[in-house]
A and B are shown apart, each in its own frame.
Chain A
Amino acid sequence: MSARLKALLLVTPLIVFLGLFFLWPLWMMISTAVQGGTVRLAFPQTATAIASWDGSGPPPAELQAALVRDLRADTPQERFGDAVRTLNSQQAGFRTLLPRTARTVREAAEADPIDLATVDPRWSDQAYWLAMKRSMPAYTDANLLAAIDLKRSDDARIEPVEADFAVNRAIMLRTFVIAIQVTLLCAAIGLPFAMLTASLSGWKRNALLIAVLLPLWTSLLVRTAAWLILLQDNGLINQTLRAIGLIDSPLSLIYNRTGVLIAMTHVLLPLMVLPIYASLIAIPRNLMPAAAALGAAPLQAFRHVLLPLAMPGLLSGSLLVFMVALGYYITPALTGGAGDQMISSVIAFYATGTANWGMAGALGLFLLVPTTVLYIVYSRLSRTPLVQT
């Protein structure tokens, strides 16, 4: 057996794992987001017939007949349900309209001609037919557009959805704002912390490193629950502040943005400290003394020597924190208020609440793209280290 083959065998489990649990779900997510096939699958004859209708004027008789034939066909319940959900997201009303029509059609005799408008007057409303036509293509941008509060109008132009339903953009923006705030907080705390840690030695350095690593070894839920106890109105922090007379009424530290930022910063701090620490201890020990000897005051030495050399670590840490923060879900859900939920909670709502996998996938895609772009930036930066040893 050649060495190459042996090496390949060694990494096979990894490749299989990556393919099965990473690439395949990713691909499924992307394809679900753009698949419009649910309606087409449930109503194949309608799909063919509706293609020749240009959308103006009342739907022709053969289109209505095709729909009746599809409704009569023995479509699996699950597939029918998926189609109804998709249609309903395009045009409210399908959820009641289709099951009722299907029931009537199936109860009627095989040969009887059925006038859909008499089954339900909504069938004479062109909007329902147009929604059906829009839902027919095998691939659709409906979910992607909906994810950023856009939709196709009846004449296929892209237009914003009604203001009442336009929440995704705001939540997406909020997600990015929270991620940036957390990144800045982590950098503001992490850089001095890493500098202090790198300047110490022996048990002091170890103690600081353990202090920052401890959150990594603790369950996310436990950490978040601990913050609930500390930050609530009668929590430790408010009681202490009141006891020493700094405040009269409790500060609201939780179930708002403050709580989210505190808890997320705490959880993500190690991801900031460790890369900075790594870049700091790689700096030759005599550079700062050299800067001082050459006439640099401490602040100048920091600005011109230490900071540029710590920059790769600071950037990697920031990107890492930002990318991870984008996808946060549990912590904002537990420590934030209604106005602090991040995009992941919307994705969770679509995925587990309404089983609208298309929307969940589309929103996920909008989270995946910036993350991927940032990752590429990150790998570029980490490939060209400033300190060459």
Chain B
Amino acid sequence: MREPDSFIHFEAISKVFGAVTVVDALDFHVARGEFVSLLGPSGSGKTTLLMMLAGFETPSGGSIHVDGRRVEHLPPHKREMGVVFQNYALFPHMTIAENVGFPLKMRGVARSERDARVKRALDLVRLGHLADRKPSQLSGGQQQRIALSRALVYEPKVVLMDEPLSALDKQLREHMQLEIRALHRDLGLTVIFVTHDQGEALTMSDRVAVLNRGKIEQFDTPSGLYDRPRTRFVAEFIGETNLLAGRVAQRSGEAATVALASGASVTCDRGAAFDTAQEVMVSVRPEMLHLVQDASADNALPVTIEDHVYHGDHIRLHLACGESRLVARAGRRDAAPPIGSKAFASFAPGDCSLVAP
């Protein structure tokens, strides 16, 4: 029973180390040509999941299908996957060309063909001129690109990347993100990318699986995760959010009215998952909060301005709403109301999400 677009299928996959369940009965599909990130804090099971796919860990239960074939009992060298490791894992005793040619050599590709393909793979990352160097003579970014080129040279079905950019500095990291994205697009690769950096996951991926304690919190597109978080964990882990505790007072269609603990009442367009009287949290992104003087605006909450902090491209306003603290984000051209003044923080019913507390 495969879904038509299911290229990689994790089926009830789990991994238990002693008494600790690291991956807990996960079920998800990745389509051919998709760029999927596994995002989560350390210990969320994302690396273990990747290692099970690569063949370095044996699942405690469940199965993994790649292109219709069960792979969980195949040794790593028979899985035909390109793996890019965290610290590049280039072979220090080989030249760059030998490193990139290694997977081909292991597959018995003839020398002449090997040389041509190595050259192509190096040109792909624009490092053809470094073929005769040793890895230790290359910068971190160059080593990363060589590792990438080595993982791509034998045209694997799937490319796995285990936090490949975490050792690079910020600028280089952003540059490499674009480069990997371009390679993914141009070569039609299926990529599984493990990261703990949410920004990286959002910029690069078609879809992101947010993992927490061995379970998938939400598997969605980047905008889906950011704009429509389904759990409190996702709302807090991806970007920044304001959480307002309350109870569902009324449901009408998809929309729900929530009575907040502070006494105010707000409406949210996406409340289908909750029943009346259920405790919920309303999640509003800081940039969705607008300061108005009009008490009759949508979801207007009375607030006191406590502080504004200059951030260059924007200004952050720290607001007190009863007992809770909110953060709003204002454009630099907006006139910030003076500290201590009162106003209303308003957001559209379509700009918030309800999550379980």
Q: Residues on A close to B: CB < 8 A?
A: 284, 286-287, 289-298, 300-301, 304-305, 308-309, 386-388
Contact = CB atoms under 8 A, between A and B. Distances in A.
Contacts of A286: 85-87, 89
Contact of B76 (A287, A289, A388): A289
Nearest to A387: B92
Best-surrounded residue of A287, A291, A295, A305 (most CB of chain B within 10 A): A295
B107 interface: yes
Nearest to B160: A293
B77 A386 contact: no
Given A289-B56, A304-B102, A295 B107 contact: yes
Given A295-B154, A304-B102, A290 B92 contact: no
Nearest to A295: B106
Interface of B: 54-56, 75-77, 79-83, 85-87, 89, 91-93, 102-103, 105-107, 134, 136, 150-151, 154, 160
Contacts of A296: 77, 102, 106
Contacts of A300: 77, 106
A294 B93 contact: no
Contacts of A386: 92-93
A293 B54 CA distance: 7
18 contacts: A284-B87, A287-B91, A290-B89, A291-B91, A292-B75, A292-B76, A294-B103, A294-B106, A294-B151, A295-B103, A295-B154, A296-B106, A300-B77, A304-B105, A305-B91, A387-B92, A387-B93, A388-B92
A292 B77 contact: yes
Contacts of B76: 289, 292-293
- Quick one: which of B77, B107, B136 has the most chain A CB within 10 A? B77
Given A295-B103, A295-B154, A289 B92 contact: no
A294 B136 contact: no
Contact of B136 (A293, A298, A388): A388
Nearest to A290: B89
A297 B79 CA distance: 11
B154 A309 contact: no
Contacts of B106: 294-297, 300, 304
Nearest to B81: A293
Classify the secondary structure of A's interface with B.
helix
Contacts of B75: 292, 297
A290 B76 CA distance: 9
A308 B106 CA distance: 16
A294 B92 contact: no
Given A300-B106, A304-B102, A293 B92 contact: no
A300 B87 CA distance: 22
B351 to A, nearest CB: 44
A289 B85 contact: yes
A316 to B, nearest CB: 16
Contact of A294 (B56, B102, B134): B102
A297 B56 contact: no
A287 to B, nearest CB: 6
A387 B91 CA distance: 9
Q: Which of B75, B85, B93, B102 has the most CB of A within 10 A?
A: B93
Nearest to B100: A294
Closest 5 CB pairs of A and B: A290-B89, A293-B83, A292-B76, A388-B136, A294-B103
A388 B92 CA distance: 7
Contacts of B92: 284, 309, 386-388
A298 B134 CA distance: 24
Contacts of A305: 91
A304 B92 CA distance: 12
Given A289-B83, A294-B77, 19 more contacts: A286-B85, A286-B87, A289-B56, A290-B83, A290-B89, A292-B77, A294-B103, A294-B151, A294-B154, A295-B154, A296-B102, A296-B106, A300-B77, A304-B105, A305-B91, A309-B91, A309-B93, A386-B93, A388-B92
Nearest to B102: A294
Nearest to A388: B136
A289 to B, nearest CB: 6
A293 to B, nearest CB: 4
B315 to A, nearest CB: 44
A297 B77 contact: yes
B164 to A, nearest CB: 12
A350 B103 CA distance: 61
